[in-house]
Amino acid sequence: MYQIMKKRELNPTVTLMEIQAPLVAAKAQPGQFIILRVDERGERIPLTIAGYDRKKGTVTIIFQIVGATTQLLNHKREGEFLQDFAGPLGVATKTENLKNVCIVGGGVGCAIALPIAQKLHNEGCEVTSIIGFRSRNLLILEEEFQAASQRLFVMTDDGSCGRKGNVCVPLQELLDGGETFDEIITIGPLVMMKFVVETARPTGIPCTVSMNPIMIDGTGMCGGCRLSLLQDGKRVTKFACVDGPDFNGYEVDFDEAMSRAAMYRDFERHAFEETCNLLKQGEQK
């Protein structure tokens, strides 16, 4: 059993938890993920590692309440326990020999981008971070990105915080101004990553995308995170959970990935609503 040492609401739909998991914390690296079960009857879900403290033996996860399991997880309190917490899994984000990197995060994807920015910063890399949200009330981790970045651009769709617009606006301005990066790393909604890649494509700057949004069971058996990559003129099939989650953004077929991800929305909404009703009934008893 894995104890919840800390729980904090980052915004109305996003929660941070620190979990006591010393064996996971000892090996965790930015970009990797864990698989957890809330209880013995629960489904297995993958969540990307948002931080770790090797001395305390804790691993930080940040999750958005979008489905039945994340709803159940959010009802857990500090001091309570999770049934399973396995990891670290996946291939860690490569940070070696990078001296000037642009990190582009969107929404809850910023929780995954942050430990990468922090590791690069600690290794002496110059980090430019661009983070985007729909509005101020959904903003998360601004102070943490500020501490890990030489430059930080905050974007909101409605202009309620930072600048109005999407994350591609400052990225395009930087590139048009002659800015060069060793790499652009982007993590967030699929459509956002697609347009970040297209913004970077004319420059040829290496662009890494994290395909964790399409992961389901985290082992490659379900096939839900299947990706088509175009490599040397040939289509190659990979799995985000076992081959990634990081990939060369210029090779990813985003349209196919978005189409496949949309297949599960109705099922997830139905399961979410059923769980909400069960939790309400339990609270009324």
Residues 104 and 117 in one domain: yes
| Residue 162 domain flag | yes
Residues 67 and 153 in one domain: no
Residues 126 and 73 in one domain: no
End residue of a domain, out of 89, 122, 148? 89
Which domain CATH number covers 65?
2.40.30.10
End residue of a domain, out of 89, 105, 137? 89
Which domain CATH number covers 160?
3.40.50.80
Burial (CB < 10 A; 0-12, 13-18, 19+), residue 11, is middle
Residues 128 and 164 in one domain: yes
Residues 65 and 115 in one domain: no
Say how many domains are in the chain. Answer: 2
Residue 22 structural domain: 2-89
What is the structure's pLDDT at 219? 62
| Residue 170 domain flag | yes
Cis peptide bond N-terminal to 115, omega within 30: no
Residues 85 and 182 in one domain: no
What is the structure's pLDDT at 258? 84
Residues 54 and 152 in one domain: no
| Residue 57 domain flag | yes
* Nearest CA among 182, 184, 249 for reference residue 211: 249
Instruction: Report mean pLDDT in 10-residue bins for the chain, 285 residues.
Output: 95 94 96 93 89 96 89 94 94 93 96 95 97 95 96 96 96 96 96 96 96 70 76 86 88 87 56 48 53
| Residue 259 domain flag | no
What is the structure's pLDDT at 276? 47
Residues 102 and 85 in one domain: no
Residues 176 and 97 in one domain: yes
Burial (CB < 10 A; 0-12, 13-18, 19+), residue 150, is exposed
The length of the chain is 285
| Residue 108 domain flag | yes
| Residue 225 domain flag | no
| DSSP-derived pairing of the beta strands 84-89 and 33-37 | antiparallel
| Residue 63 domain flag | yes
Residues 24 and 47 in one domain: yes
End residue of a domain, out of 210, 241, 259? 210
Residue 106 · residue 173 · CB < 8 Å = no
Residues 111 and 177 in one domain: yes
What is the structure's pLDDT at 217? 62
Helix, strand, coil percentages (3-state) for the chain, rounded to 5, are 35, 35, 30
| Residue 199 domain flag | yes
What is the structure's pLDDT at 195? 96
Residue with tokens 């941070």: 16
pTM over 0.75: yes
What is the structure's pLDDT at 265? 58
Residues 112 and 206 in one domain: yes
**Radius of gyration (C-alpha) of the chain in whole angstroms:** 19
